[in-house]
Every structure is written in C-alpha cells, then in structure tokens.
Structure 1
C-alpha cells in the first residue's frame, strides 16, 4: 500500500511538471489577448464559457505523450494520469485560488492585527515620551529659572564688587595723582634751583670766555704790531702751543656750559685760563715792545750810518774837487769818479731812507727774507714794495690760521665746520649772471653768513666768523683756478659778488688777496729765485705749481691755464663796477691793474708766464684802462711791444704760443687805437 502510494505520488509529480509546461506554453500564446490579472490576489475569475475546450493534456510536451480521453463538451475538462486519476483543471485552479485568497486574507488579518498592536504600542510609547518630555521640559525650565536666578545674583554680586573696586581704584588714582603732582612740584623746584645755579655759572662763564677771546684777539693784534717779522715767529712759538691748549680747554668748558654740565670748578678753571691768557698777553706785549725797541734802535743806527756815509762821501767829493785843480790829475777822470761815487751814494741813501719807511708801514723788511748781501740780486726778480706786500699777505694767513686753530683742530666742532662750508659752497657754486635777482640772492646768503645771521649762525663759535671768511676767500680763489680757467666769462659774476662782500667786510678782502698771492705769486708780481739748499719741489711749489701724489710736477700747459684763470678773476675785480646806491670807493679798483702792469715791466721777464698773464690782464682791463688813461696807456702798450716784448723774445723758452698771441694783440690794439670790452662783463647798473 505504501509502495503504491509512493508510485502514485511520483506520477502526480511528473504530471504536474507536464502541466506546468503546457500551461506556460498556452499562457504565452494568449498573453497578447489577456489584458487583466489572472494570477494572485488581484486576479479576476474567468467565467465558464470562456474556457476553451482545447485542453493541454492532448498536446505533446518534452516528448511525453499523454493519454487523452474524449469528453463531452458539456463536461468539465479533466486530466488523466498514468495511475488513472483524473483531475479537473478548473477545480484545481478554483481550489488554488480559494486557498490562495484564504491565505492572503489570513495574512492580511495577521498583518492588520500586527499593525494594530504596533500602533497601540506606538501610542503608548508616544504617550510615555510625551509625558517624559513634559517632565523634562518642566525640569529644564525649573533649572533655567534657578540658573537665571543664580546668574542674576552673581551679576549683582559682581556689580557690587566692581563698584567697590572702582571706588577703590579712584581713591588710589587720586592718591597717585596727588603724589605725582607733589613729586613734579618738587622736581620743578629742584630744576628751577639747578637752572638758577647753572644760569649763575653760565653768567660767570660768559665774561670769562669773552675775556679769553678778547685776549686771544689782542695777542693777534699785538703780533701785527711787531716790526721785525723775522723775530716774531720764534718769539711767538713758545706761546702758540700754550695758547692752543688754553683755547681748546676754554672751548670745552663753553660746550659744557651750553649743555648745562658746568660746575663751580669749571668756572674756576675758566677764570684761571683767562688769567693765564692775560699773563701770556702781557709777556708777549713785553717781548714785542722789546723787539720793536731793538728794531727802532737798529733803524736809528742805520739812519745814523747813512748820515755819516753821506757826510763822508760829501767830504770825499770836496776833496776830489780840490784834487781836480791839481795839474797831475785828469779833469775827466775826476769828473767820472766824482759822478759815479756821488750817484752811488745818492742811490744807496735813497734806498736806505726808503726801507725803514716802508717797513714801518708793513712791519717787514727785505733783509728778513734774504741776506743783505743778496738784495741787489733779488731786485732782478722783485722790488721791495712787492716783496713787502707778498710777505705781509703770507704772515696774515699764518696769523689767521693760528687764530682759527681752536676751531679747525677740535673734533667737537666738526659738524659746525661742515655746516659753514656747506653754507659757502652751495651759493658760490651757483653764482652766475643769469639775472639780477639770482646774483643778489647768492650775495645776500654769503653776506648774512659773514655777518653771523641765520640760517647758519657763525657766531656760535668765537672764531666762527673768521673761519667763514677764511674758507670763503679760499673758495673764491679755487673758483678762479677751476671755473674761470675753463669759462673765462664767468669771472665777472664771481667778481661782482666778491667786490660787494669786500665793501661790507674789508678783512675778507685782505684774506682774499693773501690767498691770491699765495696761489699765484705772479699777481703781486714776484719771482723769487731758488734759494741755496731749497729743494726743487719746494721751489716749484713757491712758484704756484702743484704736485701729484706720485711726486710728479704739474704740466706746464695745465699750470698756465690755472694761472690764467686766477689772473682773469683778479683782473675782473679791478674793472667790476659797484652795485647801485653804493657810494663807497672801490675796494680794489682799476689803479691796481695799472700798478701790476707797471711793476711787471720793471722785472726781468719770464716768457711763458709773463706773456700769458700780461695778455689776460690786457684783454680784461685794456678797454677800461684805455678809457681811464687815454694818454698814458697807449704809451705803456708801445713800451710793451718795443722794449719788453723783445726782451721776452730774446730770452726764448717754451712760450711761442703766448708770445705770438701777445704780439698780435698789441699790434691790433695800437693799429685800431682801442681794445674791445671783455666778453661776459656785466652791464652797467646790472644789480
């Protein structure tokens, strides 16, 4: 029984496989005609009359042949199996559908019940959560209220503490202000007392410094009164070093006074320095008086010797006249001897009488430079007046250098010296004749500087004004060497400013001339010969030549060009007109150009330098000289071309160019009867 049941089950399974294959085949054939759901919970039942009599059991599938038994059409389709069991497809489908629907319904009920339980549980959870949230919110609100209350209490406490702290700080601040005010009042009072003490010390210091400066200047004045310059140097040398030391110490004390660091001990030191300087002045005066007395005695002795020599020569002349009547003596020989001796006496007497007078005026003597035995030889190169002028100028520079040494040798005054040099260089370098206003601006700046006026107050130092004059004079001479030598027409603009400043400050003009003579001694004119034992370098430097760092002397063409620039600037000074509304006489007028030409003609010529400088002087001043001296100046030109020029030409040398230019200039001038005005000369009443 069991075996048979098992066999039947296998047959049913096999038939179901065939059934499924047949169903799928038919379903694929009718799929285009079916538009509704046929399977599942949403399927639609098909009425019986729609069922086709075609049964799938009669169709072959996968090679399996099923037995089909004909049935009446009114009967339901059925399926036979090998076991003889017949199935109704419709019944099976209906039962399956019913079963499926029942299962779906049961599933839906179970699902609905599950959803209802879930909803109930969710509602319960929501209620619990809502209650919890309400409780939490109430608790949070309670906590927030408590926190707000606590914060308000803390803020109120902090505000109270801040108020207490603020009041305490105000009290402390007020106390500090009061203490600071009292401290400042004490400091102000102490500073006032210190300032009063410093002011007292400063007021004590100023007269002492002024006294020292006055003594220092008096020493310079006394040195100028020395008649024997040959002895002045050795006499002043012991005091010079001491004066420099005293001046340096005094300047240091003045700096301390300006910075407010002066003490009572410093004032005592300044007083001691002033007394020491006065002592040096008195000693120096005594020495100068002694030197002058000795010098006067020597002059008197020489005058007495001259008078005695004159008396002796007169006696010899009378004896010669008596001897002339004797028969054994030739009248002509007596006459020649008498005339020669008397002429020599007269010349010697004249020279001796002139020398002391000139010396008293300039405080120098020719014998102080060269031995008396060489005076006659020296006159070939320079006359006594020119030599005195040259020596005076160089002594002036030396004295001025000594006077300014406390300023120039002090490190503390370096900035002051730089400011003064800057205030000089800028306007001097900008001088030109472009307009009256431009030239007046440069003049006023330099005038204010030498007058100790702002912006550069040269009076800050006792030697400040003298230093500025010294530096300005040297700068103008350098302009002649550098600027005028390259641009000769610029000489007149520079000369105009120089003449205006010379009117205002005569001592500046003396320094300027001294620098001119030092740089170009031919402006004196003077031609000193090489002394015995003098090196070539020292000799050439005394003539105005420059030496390079390697010891090479300046080339002749460059030397002549520099000297030409200096001569043109110097000559421009003599012909430059005074400014409008200036009534004083010219400080160095045209008569100096005439004097130079007359002096140069009395000296043995140097062809190169003399020809160059004479031509420069005539080109610059010739027009004015011819106009001022219409009768004498042509005679001087004729003398130049007939006598002086042949002397230069006979000496020869390397001056072919300068000599030829000078000869041509002289011939043209005498032929035309005039000399044209120089190029670049400023118009009359230009400024």
Structure 2
C-alpha cells in the first residue's frame, strides 16, 4: 500500500508536522553521529540506500529517543504558543540557533517512516520543480511555436492581404469594366430607344398620313359611289321612260351598262373586304365615268329621237292639215257639183253605180281569232295540251294586267313615281343573299311592306303603291320581271345565289299569288322551254323574230352569241329548279306554291319531246344538278327508272342532233348517278327553317 495514502500526515504541511529548527538540529546531530559510517547519498532522488550493515540503527534510534521526545515536547509547547503557522519555503530559510543563551533542544525521535515521508516529499518537490521546468520548457516551446505560428499567421495574413488587395484590385477593375459595359449598354439602349422612338414616330406619322390618304380615298369613293348610283338612276329613269319600241332599239345600251354595273359591284365587294386603295377607287371612278358616258349618250340619242319624232309629228300634222284642207276643198267642190246636179232632171243622173260595181272588192282578211287558232294548232304539235292551257292562262293574265298598267307606264307626269317604285324594288332584290337569316328576313320585309301598300323608303324618297290606282299592279309586274332578270345577271355568275332568291320569291308568292303568276309569265317569255314548248319557225316568220321567240336577244340587229344565250338559260334553269326544292319560311302555314311536283311534270314532258341541240341538254343538266337530290329522295326507284330512260332512250335521240359540251356533261352526270345510285345535294341549299 502506498505510504502516502496510509500515512495520515500526507495531507498536512511538512512545516506543521516537523518544526524546521528542531528537525534541522536533530538531523545535523544524527548526521554527525553516523557520518563516519555513511559513505553514500542516503536522501533525495540520488540516494543509494547502501547503509553499512554494521551501523546499528536501533541503537541510534534508542540513543536518540530521549532527545526526540524532549524535542517534540518542547516543540509542542512552543507550537501551542504560536498562532497559525506561516507558509514558507523551509528549504530557503536559515533558522537562527542560540547556542549560548539556551540549551540546545532535545532532538525528537525520527522514525523511518518520517524519513521516507520526507524523502518522498523532497522527491515530490523535485519532481514538481522538474515538472515546472518541463512545463516552463513546454510553455517556452509553446510560446515559440505560438510565435512561429503568429509569424506564419502574420505572413499568411500579409499574403492574404496582398491577395485580397490584388483580388480587390481585379474586382475593382472587373467592376469598372462591367460598369463601363453597363454604361455602354445603357448608351446603346438609349440609342436603340431613340432609334425605336424615331421609327415609331415615323410609323405613326406614316400611319397618320396613310389614314389621311385613306380618308381621302374613302371620301373620294363615297363621292364616286354616289355619282355612280345617281348615274344608274338617271340611266334607269331614261330607259324606263321610253316606250317598249324605243327600249328595244336601246337594248344595246342596257347590255353595255350591265358589265359596268357588275364591275362596279365587284369593286365594291373588294373594298368591303378591306382592300381599299387608290387603284380600286380609280377603277370605280373610271366605271362611274363610263356609266355617265353611256347614260349621257343614251339620253342624247333619246333626245335626238324625240326631236326627230316631234319634227315628224309636226310634219305629219302639217300634212294632215294640208290633207284636211284638200278634203275640205274637194268636199266644197262636190257640194257645188251636187247642187248643180240637183237642178237637172232625173234623166240626166250620172250612172255612178256601174262605176262602183266595176271596182273589185279587196280579198278577205283572216280574223284575229283565226290567227290565234293557227298558232295554237302549230304549238299543239310541240307542247302538251295541259302545258299549253297553263301557258295560255298565265300569258292572258299577264297581257291583261300589262295592258292595264300602260296608262301608268306612259303617263309623263308619273315618271318620278315610277322611278321611285323601281328603286324600292331593285334595291332589296339586288342585295338578296344568304349572309344570315336576319339579312334575308330584312329584304323580305321590305318587299312585303311595299306590296302591302305601306310607305317605304326608296333612296331619299318615300313611296307607296297606294299613291296610284295601278301602283300595285305596276310594282308587282316590275318585281316579277326583276326576279327573272336576277337569274340572268347574277345566277349565271354565282351558282349559290339561286336559293336565297328562290326563298324570298316563294315567301312573296305565298302571300301575293299574282307575284308567282307574273314571274312565270316573264319566265316563259325569256325561256319558253320551261312551258315546255319548242316553237317551230312558222311560214313567213323572219329569222330574227323566231330567234327572239325562243329567248335570244338582239342588239342593233346583232344576235347575242350562242354561249351567252346558253349561260343565261342555265341561270334561269337553276333559279326555276331552286324554287321547286326550297322550303317555306319558318312558321309559314300556306302550302308551297310551286313545289317539286311541278319540276317532275316539266322533266317528264320535256323528255317526251324530240330534243333540240344543246339547249335541251343544258336545261336538263342544270335542273338535275339542282333538284336531282330532291327527285331521288322523293321519287326513289321511279326517278332511277327515269334516269335509265334518259340513258337508253333519250340519249340516242340526243346523239343524232347534239355532240357538244352540254350533252357530254349531261351524259356524265346520268352515268355517275346510275353507277353510285346517289346524287349530292346542291351547294348553297338553305337548311330547313333557315329563316
């Protein structure tokens, strides 16, 4: 066991256990006693503990026991007198010993344990010194290392500072470069912004100039459009003021005006699509000037004819007056002669009877009824009796009303009224299209209001059919003829327009039946093949009269070209077929006035007649294109049998007289329909309840 822990004195101060003065005296006394026998170091870390065996430790101990006890006793007495012992370094103090005034204290006994303890303490102190020296050395080395570390850290700091300064300089340089680039970018952006603003200003200025130019163009076009409308009104007024004979002589002007009107309408449509430019307006202006030129030229010729007619009338009046004078003079002479003869006797009467009897009577003239019967007999060879009866009825009704309305047509005081009525009819009919149901309904209501007798707006004027007793008949005839003319001027150029026109015509036909009757009359006059009848050339009839009777038009004695004639007939055919298949207006309870049954009868009757070249194939082809889908849906197998009859029976007859394009188109259509057993509905057909 460790003596330090077993000895209770271990935790106490050495100076408290052994008084330093007594201990030193005792140590010196003991050392003097054993000095002769001790040859080596016995205390401290260098002690060898090689004590001479001859040295009797017990004796030494016993001889010193009394001294130690006395010393301890004295020490205890002196310690009792002391206050708390002072802590000091016992190795560094030198006690003062009085060898003369007092007796030396008796040495206290020292045990081996105490010696060991002291040795341990001394060794501990030495160890502590060495430890302290080692600590100081380590602290010195540590301080040196710290100094070196501080120096290294200082060097690193300086290097880092220099690197930071260099980095800062580079960053400042980079920042300066970035700043310069930013300034350059800002300047560039400012230049670009200024350039952009300049361009925008130029564009705005250009746009403003364009708007000004466009405004000028629009203003110019409005003026041109107004002048063109006025020109058309002047033209129509001048043309309608003519009698029918004069109109026939001026039909070439009407034919020349129609292309101008169509071209102007095309320009208007182009402008309506947003293609308004000065070129279009200039074209419109040229057309307006052409229209004015035609109108002025026609009016000039009309005036010349009127002047010539007035001169002729004056000459006729003068001649008549002169003849009347001559007759009066002759009558006076005859009276004088009669008076002279009355004074003579009866035997001297001049035999006048023989002179009269010698004159041959004129040959008997055929009556009008006989002529009509001859025409009827000629027509019966080329038309069915039922169709002929219907034709006579419609044409008689038309003639009756057209003769009645002549009083209004020829009244010079009603020119303005007639012109206003024409505008009220032409404006809505010219604007008919399937743009939307509201548009179609608007045009119908305007025409319906006019026929009902309501006051309607026509241009800048107001008009009503009730303003004249014949006003309604005049407007109805005018409207019916306009519908047929629409098939002439529009249908042949726009294959979709027949259906909205047919829709409005059917609606008016249902409410005003005379509209439909007059329409059929004008239709038969323009295209008698829709009766159908094939009127042959009668004996004594000129070629011009015959060609006019089957629908050809003449201008200054020149017949229209055959292809233009077929084109007009195609337009009429498409309109007529569209009437058969177009349904009634939504909510209309009246039956269809001219439905598909009429078309079926016409098709069967025309196939029973010997075909004429090109015109028959043209009409049948157009009718089948428009109404073939409805024929197939309604008559089914019966219609397919009819197509087989066309292929097997009608085509051989047609091949004998026709090898042209219309015949080929009809043949292709029939063959395709028989092969596919279907016919597509026509393009532009209005859906049910469209309006």
- TM-score norm. by structure 1 comes to 0.45
- TM-score norm. by structure 2 comes to 0.45
Whose radius of gyration is greater, 1 or 2?
2
